[in-house]
C-alpha cells in the first residue's frame, strides 16, 4: 500500500469532534479542517469583510449533526451572516480550525471532549 493510501485510511478513521454552541442550544459536530477546505472557504470570501465571510462559510461547510449530516446548505451562508450569532460562530469556527493531536489522529482520544 502506498504511503498516501495509508494516510487516507487514517484520515477516514478520525472521529467526529463536537462543540456545544450555547447560542444555538445544541452540540455541533465536525471533522478537523483540512488545508483543502481552508482554500475552498477562502475562495468563497468577499472583500468587504473577509474574516466574517471566512468564518461563516467554514461553519456552513463543516457543521454536522450527530449522524455526520451537514446542518447547513451553502445557500444558508447569507442568512446566517444576518443572524445575531457572531460570537458563537467565531467560537465554533475556532474549534473547527484547531490542529489535531497525535492521539486524535490515531483515534485514541475522546472525540466529545469539548
**Model pLDDT for residues 72-111, shown as the tens digit of each residue:** 999 999 999 999 999 999 999 999 998 765 555 555 555 5
**Given a cut of 80, is residue 66 above it in pLDDT?**
yes
DSSP state of 18: E
Output the pTM of the full model.
Answer: 0.76
Count of domains forming the chain = 1
Backbone φ/ψ region at 18: left (φ over 0), alpha (ψ -120 to 50), beta? beta
Q: What domain range includes position 30?
A: 3-101
The radius of gyration of the chain's CA atoms, rounded to the nearest angstrom, is 15
Contacts of 68 (CB under 8 A, 6+ apart): 16, 29
CATH of the domain at 66: 3.30.2220
Residue 111 lies in a domain: no
What is the average pLDDT across 3-11?
A: 92
The pLDDT assigned to 100 comes to 60
Residue 14 lies in a domain: yes
The pLDDT assigned to 104 comes to 54
Q: What pLDDT, in 10s, does the model give residues 19-56? A: 999 999 999 999 988 899 999 988 888 777 888 899 99
**Given a cut of 90, is residue 58 above it in pLDDT?**
yes
Residue 108 lies in a domain: no
Euclidean distance between CA atoms 18 and 29, whole angstroms: 4
Amino acid at each position: 500500500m502506498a504511503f498516501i493510501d495509508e494516510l487516507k485510511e487514517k484520515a477516514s478513521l478520525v472521529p467526529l469532534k463536537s462543540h456545544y454552541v450555547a447560542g444555538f442550544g445544541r452540540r455541533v459536530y465536525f471533522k478537523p479542517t483540512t488545508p483543502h477546505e481552508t482554500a475552498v472557504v477562502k475562495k468563497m470570501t468577499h472583500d468587504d469583510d473577509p474574516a466574517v465571510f471566512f468564518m461563516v462559510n467554514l461553519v456552513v461547510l463543516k457543521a454536522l449533526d450527530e449522524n455526520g449530516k451537514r446542518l447547513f446548505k451553502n445557500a444558508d451562508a447569507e442568512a446566517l451572516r444576518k443572524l445575531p450569532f457572531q460570537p458563537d460562530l467565531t467560537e465554533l469556527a475556532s474549534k473547527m480550525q484547531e490542529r489535531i493531536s497525535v492521539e486524535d489522529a490515531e483515534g485514541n482520544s475522546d472525540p466529545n471532549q469539548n
